[in-house]
C-alpha cells in the first residue's frame, strides 16, 4: 500500500523530472533555456532533482535581449555559478550586428526577435532539443502545445500537425537539422510555481517582490522607468509600490501594484487576483487575440 497521499506539487515535480531524464537519455545534444526568471529558476531546481549527484547533462542557454532587468541578469549569473553549471549566453545585439535582426527603431520591444537569435544559437551548437519553462496555463496557444513540441528545420511550430502525445511515452525523434522544444512544466500553473518557490525556498530576483519603483503610464499600462523607457512629454513619473509577475523585456513588461514581500504573500495575492499573468504584464501579447500563436509559428519558444 502507498503511504501518504502525494500532493499536486509532488506529482508535478515527479512528472517534470521524468521528462528531463527522457530528454537526457534520448536526445543527442540538448540545452536548458535559462533566463533568470522564476519559471526557469524552478526548472533549475527540477534539473538538480533529476540529475544530482551528477552534473547536468546539458548546458544552460540564455538568449539575452539586452532589454533585461539587471537584477534578473545578476540572478542568472549567480545561480549558474552557484550550481557550477555551464552557461552559454547569446545576445540579440549579435544578430542585429550581423543584420539578421532589423529593428524599426532602436528601443522597440525585443521579445519577438528572440526567435532569430535562438535559432542561430541552435544552429551554432547543433542542439537537437531545447528545454524551456513555458506553461500551458500562460496562454491559449500554449494550452494546445505538446510537452515534446516538434519544430521543423526553420524552427517552426505547426499547431495543426502536432504529434499525438499519449501516456508519458514521449516521442523524441528528429531528423538532422530539426529540433524539439521540451516543456517539463507544461502542466504547472502560476500558482504551482509560487507554491514550489515557497516550498523549495528558491532564490529569485527581488523585483518579483514588492518594491518602490518609478513608473509612467503609457498605452493603458504602467511601465518601469529605465534607461530604455524615459518619460515622453506630457508623461508624469510616479513612484508606486509594485512587483513584477513576469520579468521579460523592460520596454514592455508592466509591474502590478502590490505589497507582497515574499512568496507566501504572493501566493495569497495570486489566489485572489482577477487578471491573468500575461494579460496583466505583457503588452506585446495584447496586440491581437492570436499574437502568441503567430510568434510560435515563427520559432518562438
Partner 1 sequence: MSNTTQLLRFITAGSVDDGKSTLIGRLLHDSKSIFEDQLSAITKTSERRGGMGAVDLSLLTDGLQAEREQGITIDVAYRYFATPKRKFIIGDTPGHEQYTRNMVTAASTANLAVILIDARKGVLTQTRRHTFITSLVGVPHIVLAVNKMDMVGYSKETFDAICAEYRAFAAQLGLHEMTCIPMSALNGDMVVERGENLNWYQGSPLLELLENVVIDHDINTIDFRYPVQWVCRPQTQEYHDFRGYMGRIESGVIAAGDEITILPSGRTTKVKEIVTYDGNLQRACAPQSVTLTLTDEIDISRGDMFVKSAAMPQVSKEFEAMLCWLSESPLDLNRKYIIKHTTRVVKCLFARLEYRVDVNTLEHHSSATLNMNDIARVAMKVQQPLVFDSYTKNRFTGSFIVIDEATNNTVAAGMII
Measured CA to CA, the distance from residue 127 to residue 136 in angstroms comes to 24
Measured CA to CA, the distance from residue 193 to residue 198 in angstroms comes to 9
Provide φ and ψ at 169, rounded to 5°: -100, 100
What strands, in cross-sheet order, belong to the sheet with 30-33? 87-91, 60-64, 30-33, 129-131, 179-182, 148-151
Contacting residue, 48, 66, 71, 152, with partner 1 by CB under 8 A? 48
User: Which residue lies nearer to partner 1 by CB, 70 or 126?
Assistant: 126
Q: Which residues between 189 and 228 bind partner 1 (CB under 8 A)?
A: 189, 191-192, 195
Q: Is 288 helix (H, G, I), strand (E, B) or coil?
A: coil
User: Which residue lies nearer to partner 1 by CB, 175 or 227?
Assistant: 175
User: Which residue lies nearer to partner 1 by CB, 90 or 243?
Assistant: 243
Q: Are 44 and 83 in contact (CB under 8 A)?
A: yes
What cell does 10 get?
Answer: 509532488
Provide the H-helix boundaries in 104-202. Answer: 114-125, 190-200
Q: What is the dihedral of CA 134, 135, 139, 145, to 10 degrees?
A: 80
Contacting residue, 28, 173, 239, 259, with partner 1 by CB under 8 A? 173
- Between β-strands 238-243 and 211-218, what pairing exists: parallel, antiparallel or unpaired? antiparallel
User: Which residue lies nearer to partner 1 by CB, 105 or 220?
Assistant: 220
User: Which residue lies nearer to partner 1 by CB, 41 or 96?
Assistant: 41
Contacting residue, 82, 238, 275, 287, with partner 1 by CB under 8 A? 275
User: Which residue lies nearer to partner 1 by CB, 38 or 67?
Assistant: 38
**89 is a contact residue toward partner 1 (CB under 8 A):** no
Contacting residue, 104, 106, 169, 232, with partner 1 by CB under 8 A? 169
Angle between helices 70-83 and 38-51 (to 10 degrees): 10
- CB-count burial class (<10 Å; 0-12, 13-18, 19+) for 190: buried
Contacting residue, 104, 201, 232, 274, with partner 1 by CB under 8 A? 274
Cell 523524441 identifies what position? 172
Q: Which residues between 136 and 165 bind partner 1 (CB under 8 A)?
A: 136-137, 140-141, 143-144, 150, 159-160, 162-165
Q: Is 283 helix (H, G, I), strand (E, B) or coil?
A: helix
Measured CA to CA, the distance from residue 7 to residue 13 in angstroms comes to 10
Contacting residue, 17, 73, 83, 240, with partner 1 by CB under 8 A? 17
**100 is a contact residue toward partner 1 (CB under 8 A):** no
User: Which residue lies nearer to partner 1 by CB, 216 or 267?
Assistant: 267
**253 is a contact residue toward partner 1 (CB under 8 A):** no
**267 is a contact residue toward partner 1 (CB under 8 A):** yes
Applying CB under 8 A, the residues found at the interface with partner 1 are 1-3, 5-8, 10-15, 17-18, 21-22, 24-26, 48-55, 136-137, 140-141, 143-144, 150, 159-160, 162-171, 173-175, 186-187, 189, 191-192, 195, 267, 271, 273-276, 279-280, 289-290, 293-294
Amino acid at each position: 500500500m502507498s503511504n501518504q497521499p502525494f500532493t499536486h506539487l509532488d506529482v508535478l515535480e515527479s512528472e517534470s523530472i521524468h521528462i528531463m531524464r527522457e530528454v537526457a537519455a534520448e536526445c543527442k545534444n540538448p540545452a536548458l533555456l535559462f533566463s533568470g526568471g522564476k519559471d526557469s529558476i524552478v526548472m533549475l531546481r527540477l534539473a538538480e532533482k533529476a540529475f544530482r549527484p551528477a552534473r547536468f547533462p546539458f548546458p544552460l542557454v540564455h538568449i539575452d535581449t539586452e532589454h533585461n532587468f539587471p537584477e534578473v541578469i545578476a540572478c542568472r549569473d549567480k545561480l549558474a555559478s552557484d550550481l557550477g553549471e555551464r552557461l552559454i549566453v547569446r545576445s540579440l545585439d549579435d544578430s542585429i550586428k550581423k543584420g539578421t535582426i532589423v529593428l524599426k527603431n532602436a528601443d522597440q520591444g525585443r521579445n519577438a526577435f528572440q526567435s532569430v537569435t535562438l535559432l542561430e544559437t541552435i544552429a551554432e551548437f547543433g542542439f537537437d532539443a531545447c528545454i524551456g519553462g513555458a506553461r500551458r496555463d500562460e496562454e491559449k496557444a500554449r494550452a494546445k502545445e505538446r510537452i515534446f513540441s516538434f519544430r521543423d528545420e526553420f524552427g517552426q511550430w505547426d499547431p495543426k500537425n502536432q504529434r499525438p502525445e499519449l501516456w508519458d511515452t514521449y516521442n523524441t525523434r528528429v531528423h538532422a537539422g530539426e529540433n524539439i522544444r521540451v516543456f517539463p512544466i507544461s502542466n504547472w500553473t502560476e500558482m504551482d510555481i509560487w507554491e514550489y518557490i515557497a516550498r523549495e525556498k528558491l532564490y529569485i530576483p527581488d523585483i518579483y517582490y514588492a518594491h518602490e519603483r518609478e513608473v509612467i503610464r503609457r498605452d493603458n499600462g504602467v511601465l518601469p522607468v529605465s534607461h530604455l523607457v524615459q518619460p515622453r512629454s506630457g508623461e508624469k513619473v510616479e513612484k508606486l509600490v509594485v512587483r513584477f509577475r513576469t520579468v521579460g523585456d523592460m520596454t514592455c513588461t508592466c509591474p502590478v501594484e502590490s505589497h507582497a514581500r515574499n512568496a507566501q504573500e504572493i501566493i495569497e495575492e495570486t489566489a485572489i487576483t482577477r487578471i491573468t499573468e500575461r494579460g496583466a504584464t505583457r503588452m506585446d501579447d495584447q496586440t491581437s487575440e492570436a499574437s502568441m500563436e503567430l510568434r510560435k509559428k515563427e520559432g518562438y519558444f
